[in-house]
A = this chain, B = another copy of it.
């Protein structure tokens, strides 16, 4: 089987998410890293590309050059990953889609709802893949939870409780550190801080597992470090289309939480719990029964959970392999082998609408608002 060509924009040396994409794309041997515009500093980007084995003529100075360079090649990249600063995602993603490339865009897909709607239209018109990297949804045991809900194993979902909290921005003395400060500066981060950064993963996860969408929400935002213009602690209550009640807490000042993303799903006949720091287990409790510890790789799991589990039961698999699972499904889709099971532009748009509406709700003292993008109302 021929390997697919892959390129990345952004994700240069020192990037936090770059390594996860490189491991994700290459771990299974589906993609070869063939091209890249890895850094705003063109020279640094080229030097880094060289260490990654990218041929020098495909180590581009910027995304525009890459678009031009790749567009006409016979061996043009089969997939472009966009891992640049948030404010540039829209422009780059749009341009590559319009030029006929498949795109995997880091979240957030766009900065505004209008841009999000445009990407949805452009993606549809292009016929190309526009995936968005809500990678937590690709953990095998998250897929298993979705499967359990879809097949009625916990009954109709009553309540979802999701948290995504950490304490890595909890030091007020560190608030002026540029790597921290930009998250709370509207000029760079947009309308929301912690909710847009982390909370939105939890909101996507709720929809993903429930197989349902958020319809309304009410938000309470706080800047617990007063120099911050944007929130560093947020609570969002929501209701899904099917009536499910949702509670979502996210914070970046939760000192002691490291990567505190967990979700609990309570249905009529059972409950589920999963935490991203121990992603290989799900705690499942049938109503009236005992809690059972489900393990990645155990017998009897759904096909999709088994397919995305790579090593034997209880051999832990982690975050980079969740990202890799997104690439596995992208490769299958590109090769026409499967329909492709990954978050797409519509998911990116819904997230962006939820962020903007949460901000509006928070400003209106928690008034309940429609969480949906106009396009989907």
A interface residues with partner B (beta carbon < 8 Å)? 1-3, 16, 19-20, 22-23, 26-29, 33, 50-53, 154, 158-159, 161, 166-168, 170-172, 218, 220, 222, 224-225, 233, 235, 237, 245, 247, 249, 251, 253-259, 264, 266-273, 276-280, 283-288, 290-295, 298-299, 310-321, 324, 365-368
Contacts and interface: CB of A to CB of B under 8 A. Distances in A.
A126 B299 CA distance: 45
A273 B249 contact: no
A312 B271 contact: no
A19 to B, nearest CB: 5
Given A23-B28, A277-B314, A293-B291, A158 B253 contact: yes
A324 B22 CA distance: 13
A29 B53 contact: yes
The 3 closest A-B pairs by CB, nearest first: A256-B285, A258-B314, A259-B314
What is the copy number of this chain in the assembly?
Answer: 4
A217 B370 CA distance: 22
Contacts of A286: 255
Contact of A291 (B277, B292, B315): B292
A175 to B, nearest CB: 11
A159 B253 contact: yes
Contacts of A29: 22, 26, 33, 52-53
A222 B251 contact: no
Given A255-B266, A366-B218, A276 B316 contact: yes
Nearest to A20: B311
Contacts of A311: 16, 19-20, 318-320
Contact of A170 (B3, B33, B271): B271
Nearest to A3: B53
B295 A258 contact: yes
Contacts of A270: 255-256
Best-buried of A27, A154, A225, A365 by chain B (most CB within 10 Å)? A27
Contact of A367 (B28, B237, B310, B365): B365
Contacts of A28: 22-23, 26
A333 to B, nearest CB: 17
A293 B289 CA distance: 10
A285 B167 contact: yes
A367 B218 CA distance: 10
A57 to B, nearest CB: 16
A287 B251 CA distance: 15
Contacts of A171: 287-288
B277 A316 contact: yes
A83 to B, nearest CB: 13
A319 B310 CA distance: 10
A299 B316 CA distance: 23
Contacts of A293: 290-293
A36 to B, nearest CB: 11
10 contacts: A3-B53, A172-B268, A254-B264, A255-B267, A256-B273, A258-B314, A276-B315, A292-B293, A315-B319, A316-B319
Given A53-B1, A319-B315, A287 B170 contact: yes
Given A1-B51, A26-B26, A256-B270, 20 more contacts: A1-B52, A16-B311, A20-B311, A23-B321, A23-B324, A27-B320, A159-B253, A170-B271, A171-B288, A220-B237, A222-B245, A233-B245, A253-B266, A256-B285, A276-B315, A293-B293, A310-B320, A311-B320, A316-B316, A320-B321
